[in-house]
């Protein structure tokens, strides 16, 4: 049992051998985990990695995922705490934050896929978490990042959340995932190449310079506090897109100080509330943590969170059409400065 910063960690296993980890507030009694009585067979994922010779991108084929759970009714949710007649992925009758190996992983052998449940409350959301509960999630992210980064078969750790059916969510319980890629994903390869070029030319960190420029210019800043700034990037691709940067360059979530973790929670909940108040109902979004690669270019990386939504109006969704899907050239219907001004005007609480 480990004790991550601000949290108590309890390790156990599910009936098929997959790992399950509970995170509870540090001042709570030690948890004695209940046994998973489902008697699940050992997982046999079918994963094939192939490299596109034209782009160098790695494409993952995980055909077993076609049988994964799809939009079950609330009383059969596999991410809720177990109840009589409904044993789930989490055997205990209640929990704060829980992380387990995905039963339908995108990677197996090399790599790792985990599910992180933000709360046992099926009807909640990250936006509705208390400051303390959200802070516990941050500590869980940090702990998992440290563990996964220490593995020889992982090159990049990617915590993320998908919210909303429009995004493609198949389980409505508030949760995110953590991918431990056995390769560098294409976006990170591109960002690191740009950061390396910038370092050679300007002699400074690309991400730090972007943050400094946004804070100085100011028109795209949505909100900020002592340790973090949230802004709409100058060349935003998505109808609603906000990036959250710490003011200090760090490589990963586990490098954040206590104060930086506290301030992140305050600002992130503020931004998510602005998202939900933008059109008067929960905004579908993807929240994507960008960290430094595990082994290479760590000095070039700069931890930040990118939050994006495909909703371009109250009743309209942006679909990736010919230019975006065929050429990767985004054409946006919304101007970053206008989005930032609108988000500043809506309440964050």
CA-CA distances (angstroms) from residue 226 to 65, 245, 246, 262, 264? 43, 11, 9, 10, 10
**312/329 same-domain check:** yes
Q: Which are the catalytic amino acids?
A: 175
**18/152 same-domain check:** yes
CATH number at 211 reads 3.30.428.10
pLDDT of residue 3: 59
**224/107 same-domain check:** no
Interval 176-226: pLDDT, tens: 999 999 999 999 999 999 999 999 999 999 999 999 999 999 999 999 999
Q: Residue 151: exposed, middle, or buried by beta-carbon count in 10 A (0-12, 13-18, 19+)?
A: middle
Residue among 237, 233, 243 nearest 337 (CA): 233
pLDDT exceeds cutoff 80 at 235: yes
Q: Residue 257: inside a domain, yes or no? A: yes
Q: Residue 105: which domain range?
A: 7-183
pLDDT of residue 85: 87
With b for 16 or more beta-carbon neighbours within 10 A and e for fewer, the 68-105 pattern comes to eeeeeeeeebbbbbbeeeebbbbbbeebbbbbbbbbbb
Q: Residue 1: inside a domain, yes or no? A: no
> Angle between the 258-278 and 131-149 helix axes, to the nearest 10 degrees?
120
Q: Residue 2: inside a domain, yes or no? A: no
**176/96 same-domain check:** yes
**255/147 same-domain check:** no
Angle at 13 between CA 7 and CA 18, to 5 degrees: 110
Domain boundary among 149, 183, 217: 183
Residue spans of alpha helices (H) in 164-316: 186-202, 206-217, 258-278
Q: How far is residue 268's CA from residue 223's CA, in Å, rounded to a whole number?
A: 10
Q: Using CA of residue 291, residue 295, residue 297, residue 298, what is the dihedral sign?
A: positive
Domain boundary among 124, 156, 183: 183
Query: Mean of the per-residue pLDDT values for the chain?
Result: 95
Phi-psi region of 301 (alpha: psi -120 to 50; beta: other; left: phi over 0): beta
Interval 41-90: pLDDT, tens: 998 899 999 999 999 999 999 998 887 887 889 899 999 999 998 999 99
Angle at 91 between CA 146 and CA 176, to 5 degrees: 45
Interval 98-136: pLDDT, tens: 999 999 999 988 999 999 999 999 999 999 999 999 999
Query: Which has more confidence, 170 or 307?
Result: 307
Domain boundary among 156, 183, 210: 183
Q: Residue 320: inside a domain, yes or no? A: yes
Q: How far is residue 164's CA from residue 285's CA, in Å, rounded to a whole number?
A: 7
Q: How far is residue 25's CA from residue 136's CA, in Å, rounded to a whole number?
A: 7
**26/154 same-domain check:** yes
Which pLDDT band holds residue 4 (cuts at 50, 70, 90)? confident
Contact 342, 278 (CB under 8 A): yes
**117/196 same-domain check:** no
Which pLDDT band holds residue 349 (cuts at 50, 70, 90)? low
**322/235 same-domain check:** yes
Interval 88-103: pLDDT, tens: 999 999 999 999 999 9
Total domain count for the chain?
2
- Phi then psi for residue 192, to 5 deg, are -70, -35
**122/257 same-domain check:** no
pTM: 0.96
């Amino acid at each position: 049992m480990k004790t991550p910063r601000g949290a108590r960690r309890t390790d156990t296993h599910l009936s098929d051998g997959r790992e399950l980890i509970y995170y509870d507030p540090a001042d709570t009694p030690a948890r004695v985990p209940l046994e998973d009585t489902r008697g699940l067979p050992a997982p046999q994922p079918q994963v094939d990695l192939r490299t596109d010779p034209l782009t160098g991108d790695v494409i993952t084929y995980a055909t077993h995922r076609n049988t994964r759970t799809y939009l079950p009714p609330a009383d059969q949710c596999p991410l809720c705490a177990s109840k009589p007649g409904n044993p789930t992925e989490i055997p205990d009758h209640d929990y704060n934050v829980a992380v387990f190996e995905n039963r339908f992983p995108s990677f197996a052998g090399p790599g790792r896929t985990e599910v992180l449940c933000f709360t046992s409350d099926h009807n909640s959301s990250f936006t509705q978490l208390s400051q303390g509960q959200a802070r516990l999630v941050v500590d869980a992210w940090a702990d998992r990042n440290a563990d996964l980064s220490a593995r020889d078969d992982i090159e990049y750790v990617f915590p993320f959340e998908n919210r909303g059916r429009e995004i493609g969510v198949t389980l409505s319980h508030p949760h995110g995932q953590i991918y431990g890629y056995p390769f560098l994903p294409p976006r990170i390869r591109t960002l690191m190449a740009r950061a390396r070029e910038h370092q050679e030319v300007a002699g400074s960190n690309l991400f730090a310079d972007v943050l400094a420029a946004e804070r100085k210019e100011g028109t795209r800043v949505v909100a900020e506090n002592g340790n973090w700034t949230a802004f709409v990037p100058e060349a935003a691709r998505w109808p609603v897109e906000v990036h959250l940067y710490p003011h200090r360059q760090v490589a990963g979530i586990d490098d954040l100080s206590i104060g930086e973790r506290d301030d992140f929670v305050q600002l992130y909940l503020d931004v998510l509330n602005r998202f939900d108040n933008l059109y008067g109902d929960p905004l579908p979004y993807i929240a994507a943590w960008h960290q430094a690669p595990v082994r290479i270019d760590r000095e070039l990386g700069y931890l930040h969170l990118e939050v994006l939504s495909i909703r371009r109006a109250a009743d309209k969704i942006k679909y990736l059409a010919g230019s975006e899907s065929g050429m990767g050239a985004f054409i946006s219907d919304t101007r970053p400065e206008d989005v930032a001004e609108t988000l500043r005007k809506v309440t964050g609480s």
